[in-house]
A and B are shown apart, each in its own frame.
Chain A
């Protein structure tokens, strides 16, 4: 049997061979398995919420339980799942392979980041069962309620703080790796676009995460010592918390979406058998998004009492930051022109991505405009919008990339037929679940409510049914991948005919990634 990083014996045995490994591939898979578990947990909470909303009034649970559920769902999906997301799981595995390196710059720091992540996640989950009960503030932890509530906010916030450290260190590691460890001949403009996107994301992680760290520390200090930064009775200003929170959390949406865009740019040329259109435009638009993403946080606060000038400026900048995203979408579509397209599962998810992300992005502009924002603020329109971008965008691209790289990671192919059925169920389920929410929101259904007026019911029922279809799709997709780990056909080194470096080594790769560090002489997507 060929040696690969699974069957090469190491210093430790059993589970320790994973949780103490400094091999980027093992660390990537650690993240991937933890994140899958958290995603399923978050999904279960989502299903429970949808079940509660199938009829007006109390159906399953008390209002306070519902409050805890959406908080948990939000915290898990954001901080435990999508923020580490594509970079920590697939980036860890693929980044060194794609640039022809043996590992990241700081392998031990990489392992430490995973430990920060998993301890942070454990602390956050402990907060559910201890102290005054599960936090009920929503994932945004807005003051003054988050200071006054008796629920276990402090511990949850501390968990998020630890995960923030993990995210920062991962960004630091990747940025350094990309600067220092590219294979001979790989100039900046020969890097795969996935690497570009991880690079831009790394900078956002570095420059934004410390701000949420200090904000959360202040929140904890507030709860423990009553300092008064955010307490009007002591001369503080609660709005300041919102500013600090969104100074991080808007850039954080780019931590979520940029790597997804990178994966899309990676998959499209392979399945269209054609080089990517506008390589530099896509690379620079990643940096542009990372840069301008810092200046638009105020669009989350249009209704919290800023001056008109500030609101207009934030609105204008929000429209501008949509431009680089638009550039990407146009380039992707242009790349398909005259390509010879293969409709395999990864590509199906990519098409779903472009469709859903466009809806999510365009409805974002509805909220970026002041007049419409006031109308839809705090309604289900927002809930629909962010699920379209985060789930329809990032998660669909994540799943696409997971299928795309599955043969490289496992050495086997997944079952194509089942994968396509799952993709279809996901797409139908997704739209059935979330599209009605746009309408509900437009009609005035507020978010974070466990009850509603009876005339909203028909659309809520549709949405709940959609959640079942969606969950079936997710389970089928995961089942297929897990089963294929054992029963899938041997994939070979390069089943898709990809041209980037990860396809030049065996599947799964050996411990040191390459027999011999490859020499790079052309751009990444070199198709005749």
Chain B
């Protein structure tokens, strides 16, 4: 394959790229879907235990994180529309803000997790195993689901970081911003999943 053919084949197919991205988001939802399934099974098996265990989570921290993530979705959407209006500088600033908010989310999460671990509540810990079965499952799900979500946040941040540098180097422009839009879609998905995790873990007390 030589250079000229590479470019010959690399057509700009926006609708195709969008379609591919939506399909990818679909697979991400199904990935979490497996965990939501497990959650619903154990929640229906141990409703009281889940209720009790949820009291151990801080609603304040959870709410703060929800607000942070929602705001970051907003800044991301604004970053895209800024670029589409041709305002590159504003778009760069807003993308930067999205990254900062994502990082704050992770820092929050870090303190939350370490608080629980400090209390001896983590998988396979004697403290946790001494509690009821439902509580063990609740915290198992809590760690796995928020952990996997956290990894998605990290991936999303890396992605937006790349977009940021491409925007600064004028490789993503007003005319050619499909990549940024797709990164935005991904970030909204990460947000969306959190919107489900939040009530399922924090608000069921």
Contacts and interface: CB of A to CB of B under 8 A. Distances in A.
B14 to A, nearest CB: 10
Interface stretch (B62-70, B129-137, B183-191): B129-137
A229 B123 CA distance: 11
B32 interface: yes
B2 A206 contact: no
A521 interface: no
A480 interface: no
A218 B141 CA distance: 10
A226 B124 contact: yes
Interface size class of B (residues with CB under 8 A): 35 or more
A332 to B, nearest CB: 31
Contacts of A56: none
A102 to B, nearest CB: 5
Nearest to B27: A210
B60 interface: no
Interface string A1-44: 00000001111000001000111001000000000000000000
Interface residues of A, number: 47
A8 B13 contact: no
Name which of A168, A181, A211, A229 has the most chain B CB atoms within 10 A of its CB.
A229
Contact of A21 (B1, B124, B133): B1
Given A10-B2, A11-B3, A225 B23 contact: no
B130 to A, nearest CB: 12
A107 B41 contact: no
A3 to B, nearest CB: 11
Contact of B9 (A103, A175, A227): A103
Name which of B1, B5, B31 has the most chain A CB atoms within 10 A of its CB.
B1
A175 B132 CA distance: 46
A244 B41 CA distance: 12
B110 interface: no
A8 B3 CA distance: 12
B33 A176 contact: no
Nearest to A175: B23
B34 A176 contact: no
Interface string B149-188: 0000000000000000000000000000000000000000
B35 A228 contact: no
Contacts of B26: 206-207
Contacts of A106: 20
Interface stretch (A87-95, A231-239, A316-324): A231-239
Contacts of A209: 27
A229 B27 contact: no
A180 B24 CA distance: 16
A221 interface: yes
Contacts of B34: 210-211, 213-215, 218, 244
Interface string A140-179: 0000000000000000000000000000100011011001
Interface string A235-266: 11100100010000000000000000000000
Contacts of A210: 27-28, 30-31, 33-34
B141 to A, nearest CB: 8
Name which of B6, B9, B33, B123 has the most chain A CB atoms within 10 A of its CB.
B9
Contacts of A75: none
21 contacts: A11-B3, A26-B1, A103-B9, A106-B20, A172-B20, A179-B16, A180-B15, A180-B19, A181-B16, A207-B27, A207-B30, A209-B27, A214-B33, A217-B148, A218-B35, A228-B136, A229-B38, A229-B137, A229-B140, A234-B136, A512-B8
